Amino acid sequence: MDRTKICAFVFLLISSLTDKETCSATVATRMASSKPSVFLTRNDYPEEGVNLLKEHFELDTWNSSVGINKEELTSALKGKFGVFCSLNDKIDADVLKNASDLKVIATMSVGFDHLDLKEIKNRNIYVIRLIREPAGSEHFQGYF
Ligand SMILES: *[C@@H]1O[C@H](CO)[C@@H](O)[C@H](O)[C@H]1NC(C)=O
Ligand SMILES: *[C@@H]1O[C@H](CO)[C@@H](O)[C@H](O)[C@H]1NC(C)=O
C-alpha cells in the first residue's frame, strides 16, 4: 500500500467526522468515548498513515496482513465507527447486521464487489474508495 494513498484515505476518513450526514452519529459516538473507533483489517498499513489515524481514532487492528475471515470481521466491527478494508474483505448484509454503529467504510480499492452497496446505502454508511481516471491517475471519492 503506498504512502500517498493511505494518507489520502486517512484525510477522507477524518473529514468524514465533520460531514453533515455523519455528524450527529459522530456526536453520539463521541459522547460514549473520547474518540470514535476504527477497525483496520490488516496490520501492514504504513506507520505514517496509522499514526495519523491514531490522533483522531481509537484503533483496533487485525493481527495479520493475510486477511480476516467473515466471522472475525463481524465480531470486530461491533461498536466500530469506521473500517479500513481492502478488496478481500467482504462486507455483506450479514456482516452489516451486527455492525450497527458503523458509519464509514474506507476501501483501498477501485472496485467494490466486496461491498453490499444496497445494504450500505440503507444504513446510511459513507463509503470512501479509490477512483481511477481513464488517463491512469488515481484519486479518492467519498459517497453514500
Ligand atoms: C489472530 O487472532 C486470531 C483470533 O484471535 C487467532 O486465531 C490467530 O491465531 C491470530 N493470528 C496471529 C498470527 O497471531
Ligand atoms: C451477531 O449478532 C448476533 C445477535 O446479536 C449474535 O448472536 C452473534 O454472535 C453476532 N455475530 C458475531 C460474529 O459477533
pLDDT higher at 139 or 123: 123
Of all protein residues, the one whose alpha carbon is nearest to atom 4 of ligand 2 is 98
Across the range 33-37, mean pLDDT stands at: 73
CATH number at residue 63: 3.40.50.720
Residue-level pLDDT at 18 = 54
**Cβ-Cβ contacts under 8 Å for 101 (sequence gap 6 or more):** 25, 29, 78, 79, 80, 81
Bridge-based pairing state of the strands 58-61 and 82-85: unpaired
pLDDT score, position 44: 85
Domain assignment present for residue 110? The answer is yes
Is 31 a member of any domain?
Answer: no
Is the beta carbon of 65 within 6 A of some atom in ligand 1?
no
For 80-90, letters b (16+ CB in 10 Å) and e give: bbbbbbeeebb
Indicate whether 30 belongs to any domain.
no
Q: Give the count of domains, the chain.
A: 1
> Which one, of 40, 39, 16, lies nearest residue 26 by Cα?
16
- Decide if pLDDT at 31 tops 70: no
pLDDT at 1: 45
Q: Give domain status of residue 67, yes or no.
A: yes
Q: Does an H or E element contain 75, and which?
A: helix 70-76
For ligand 2, the distance from its centroid to the CA atom of residue 72, given in whole angstroms, is: 11
Predicted TM-score (pTM) of this structure: 0.78
Residue 44 CB less than 6 A away from ligand 2? no
Does residue 25 have a pLDDT over 60?
no
In a domain, 15, yes or no: yes
Residue 108 included in any domain: yes
Q: How far is the CA of 98 from the centre of ligand 2 (A)?
A: 6
pLDDT in tens, 49-102: 788 788 878 899 999 998 899 999 999 999 998 998 988 899 999 999 999 999
Q: What is the reported pLDDT for 46?
A: 74
Domain that holds residue 88: 4-20+46-135
Q: Which residues contact 75 (CB under 8 A, 6 or more apart)?
A: 98
Quick check: is 25 in a domain? no
Model confidence at 23, pLDDT cuts 50, 70, 90, reads: very low
Residue with CA closest to ligand 1 atom 1: 63
> Which of 63, 64, 70 maximizes ligand 1 atoms within 8 Å of its Cβ, making it the mutation to test the pocket?
63
The closest alpha carbon to 41, from 10, 101, 91, 86, belongs to: 86
Is residue 103 situated within a structural domain? yes
